[in-house]
Amino acid sequence: MNWLFAAVPCWLICSGTALAVTSCTPKVCLLTNPKTYKADAFKHANTKYVSPKTGCNAASLGGYKKAIQALIDEKQVAVPANYDQFRAEMCSLKKIIVLPSYSSYPRFYSKFEDPELKHSGAGQADPPISGDKYVFLQPDTLSLSAATMLDRSLAVLKDKFGLTHSHSVKDNPAKSDASMALVVTLAHEIGHIRFHRDKKSLAVNKSCFLTDIETASWVPKSTPDPFNPNGRFRDFGDEIAGNDHTDADIPKPSQVKSTDDIAKIYDNGFASALAAASSEEDYVESFTLAVLQSYTSDDLTLNNGAAIFEHITNRPPDRTGKLIKKLDCAISPH
């Protein structure tokens, strides 16, 4: 996850109050160099990193431009101060890039062009790097729902263990399926950008990340250093050796073998099953849930089989008291 700042500001925010709105549609673009663009070029020797090339006027982008601008313009939100954090992060992106085909890259992803890190592989010099930030969307994003997005994140449990699960939103939701899917996707990828961009403040001993996320649920000091290749651009849901739960009875996603195992994750301070994969995903999924709850009061649940429901949004306080602290930490300004 590595990249910069928008040429046209969407919101002017002062003390959490939105003062003015301008169009953010110029930054919604199509990737035009999918065969040569490698977000993880630093992993490959003699591979030179190049920034993504885009075209921003394609007719196919109309739906994305309208939907993303609607999120920027949204006034009916559940928690305005928290939603403004998300709004400001969206507007600080250099580009929101729609991939031309689903095979362009395996999933949704983000890139932060951190000027303190090398982006080309060994043997190649970097181009000028200035801190740009990008989020990449798959071409079917607007046809999805938040429930479908979250089902996909648990699909491995069904594929490997045959577990039955599905997410659903209450009847007559206040927000549309497409808008909620877009919020979930953008918030998750922006969460990764925040984690890597703000790594220095997150590493300070007084940081809430250390006290309310890492120390609360993970072996202390086990979070990989984002300056190290092991802590940089990672595949979806990667589980990192040594970055383990302090409570060994709580499984990581790959260790889930029953609905009881899923319940252990949700009942012990994790925003989602994916959050239990690593301390970075714990932070990112906490940010995602905080944003989703700031956007809508709709009740999103996970059917865990046998009529067992886990609340995703509007969840009662867990017995550990950890989740609310994680959400507050992740959404707070760093």
Which two tokens mark 330? 């992740």
The domains of the chain are located at 11-331
Computed on alpha carbons and rounded to an integer, the radius of gyration of the chain in Å comes to 19
Q: Which residue has the higher pLDDT, 179 or 259?
A: 179
Q: Which helix (H) or strand (E) holds 112?
A: strand 109-112
What are the phi and psi torsion angles at 146 (to 5°)?
A: -60, -40
Lowest-confidence range among 78-87, 108-117, 301-310?
Answer: 301-310
Least Cα distance to 312 among 142, 165, 108, 138 occurs for 165
Which two tokens mark 91? 């507007």
Confidence of residue 208 (pLDDT cuts 50, 70, 90): very high
Give residue-wise pLDDT tens across range 288-332.
999 999 998 877 777 766 555 566 777 777 777 899 999 999 999
| Contact partners, residue 28, CB within 8 Å, separation at least 6 | 56, 61, 64, 65, 68, 95, 96, 98
Give residue-wise pLDDT tens across range 113-126.
999 899 999 999 99
Least Cα distance to 292 among 167, 163, 202, 198 occurs for 167
pLDDT at residue number 152: 72
Q: Which pTM value belongs to this model?
A: 0.88
Q: How far apart are the C-alpha atoms of 87 and 25, rounded to whole Å?
A: 14
Least Cα distance to 271 among 326, 219, 331 occurs for 326
pLDDT at residue number 18: 45
Q: Which residue has the higher pLDDT, 23 or 138?
A: 138
Q: Which residues pair with 137 in a beta bridge?
A: 98
Which two tokens mark 101? 């085909």
In one-letter notation, the amino acid at residue 104 is S
